[in-house]
Structure 1
Amino acid sequence: MTLPALDPARTAVVTIDMHRGHLDPAVATMPLPAEAAARVTAANAVLVRAARARGVPVVHVVTGYHDVSEIASNPWWAAVAGTDATRANVLNHQLPGSPGLEVMPDLLEQGDVVVTGKKRYDCFAATDLDHVLRSRGVSTLLITGVNTNSCVLATTVAANTRDYAAVVVEDCVDTMDRTLHEPALAVLRQAFGWVATLDETVAAL
């Protein structure tokens, strides 16, 4: 489906877990492959610069826990911890004091909003994201981040159910689960929102 023109006054970029915990190979506890991390970070940098130039707010949502019990209380995460799953290191991910909690430096500027303390895949769950967006008159979300088949998928579904127009910027999302990136985009495109390239998105703004 063709991406419609986007009204900058009603649009926001929402980056999901574009933090060092996924994207900085030196400190990441659940890393993307280094090449993928560099590529998705660079694409996001292009998008957020274009958004700011048009007066579009940039909102970064970052996972963070008070302690490991908040992670282990999820039965699935507790079950896969320490196995050969891609999320095997989940009980060590985004804990207090971790450098992984920092948004990638190329993506963060003064004036951006950082929503911290995301606990689950859905960025709206137990955060003030909805308030941040509604208070700014936002009705269209340009969604980016990690992972395509978990946090990006869950957040786009949640945005759709809240009647936001959701646009997933495909160059600006990626996943640790390498075979599931394209299937996740197919699910999103079919039922929950637009999937557009970075170039298409910037042009629509």
Structure 2
Amino acid sequence: MKNTAVIAIDLHRGHLDPEVATMPLPPAQCETVITANAEFFAACRRQGVSIIHLLTQYRNEGEILSNPAWRKRADDPDATRKNVARHNLRGMPGVKVIPRLWDDSDVLIDTKKRYDCFVGTDLEFVLRMMRVERLWMTGVNTNSCVLATSMDASCRDYDVTIVSDCVDTMDGPEFHTSALQIFERAFGHVKRSSELTN
């Protein structure tokens, strides 16, 4: 499909492989997210839609803890993001796209360090080079990285859709639902994968 790309956010082992994940979704949700994305990506590739993976990766804890909100969560044993200071440091096993979701035709941007995938990466350059105007967002977490990136993309005048069955969050269903409602109310579209590829 012309001028369309999937932005696959943090579909990596650090969230979706319970054996190594430092900030995991619940195990049943991991499999659901992986399966939904695998099926959606296959349909997209058949239609000529490019998949661009954004992968969080840090050189050291300092890059993480320079964010004051994240410092606070690193000290809170009850926070869902309490492992933030140990999440996806370069060389850790979590810093790898889930193999079932990767294809050699995909694009990888592995310099993501903040919720918004446009910050500190060359995502904008890649999208302009590919002449992309329409973005389909998938990934983890609905209420942080997916929402922040989708809002920014909308503000940059991309036509943005969050693919509701291909996103999820470690923070619980109420945050997932709220993020989708916030985005759809003012920034773009929320649709199921079957509505986009059929």
Question: What's the TM-score, normalizing by structure 2?
Answer: 0.98
Equivalent residue number for residue 151 of structure 2: 157
Question: How far apart are the structure 2 equivalents of 1:92 and 1:161?
Answer: 32
Partner of 2:74 in structure 1? 81
1:8-47 alignment runs, 5 A limit: 8-47=1-40
Which residue is 2:59 aligned to?
Answer: 66
Residue of 115, 122, 129 corresponding to 1:128: 122
Answering whether residue 71 of structure 2 is matched by residue 103 of structure 1, we say no
CA distance in 1, matches of 2:126, 2:15: 24
1:129-144 matched pairs, under 5 angstroms:
129-144=123-138
SS of the aligned residue for 2:152 comes to: helix
Structure 1 residues without counterparts, runs of 5 or longer: 1-7
2:15 & 2:162 partners in 1: Cα distance?
19
Alignment of 1:144-183 (within 5 A): 144-178=138-172, 179-183=174-178
What pairs up with 1:192-203 in 2 under 5 angstroms?
A: 192-203=187-198
1:109-149 deviation line (CA, Å, top 9, x unaligned) = 11100000101000000100111111011000010000000
Partner AA of 1:12 in structure 2: A
Q: Is the 8 A contact 1:82 1:89 kept in 2?
A: no
Amino acid of the residue matched to residue 163 of structure 2? V
Instruction: Give the AA of the match of 1:63.
Output: T
Aligned to 1:186: 181
1:90 aligns with 2:84: yes
Secondary structure at 1:171 match in 2: strand
1:89, 1:155 → 2: CA distance? 22
- Could you tell me the TM-score, scaled by structure 1's length? 0.94
Shift of 1:78: 0.4
The percentage of counterpart residues that share the same residue type is: 51
1:67-95, Cα deviation, whole Å (9 max, x unpaired): 11000100000011041100000000000
Spell out, residue by residue over 1:145-186, the C-alpha distance to the aligned partner (whole angstroms, 9 max, x if none). 000000000000110011000010000000001020001100
Unaligned runs of 5+ in 2: none
Secondary structure of the structure 1 residue equivalent to 2:39 = helix
Q: Deviations over 1:31-90 (max 9, x none)?
A: 000111110110000111111111111100000001110001000000110411000000
State the SS of the aligned residue for 2:53: strand
Q: How many residues align?
A: 196
| Large movers: runs of 4+ above 6 Å | none
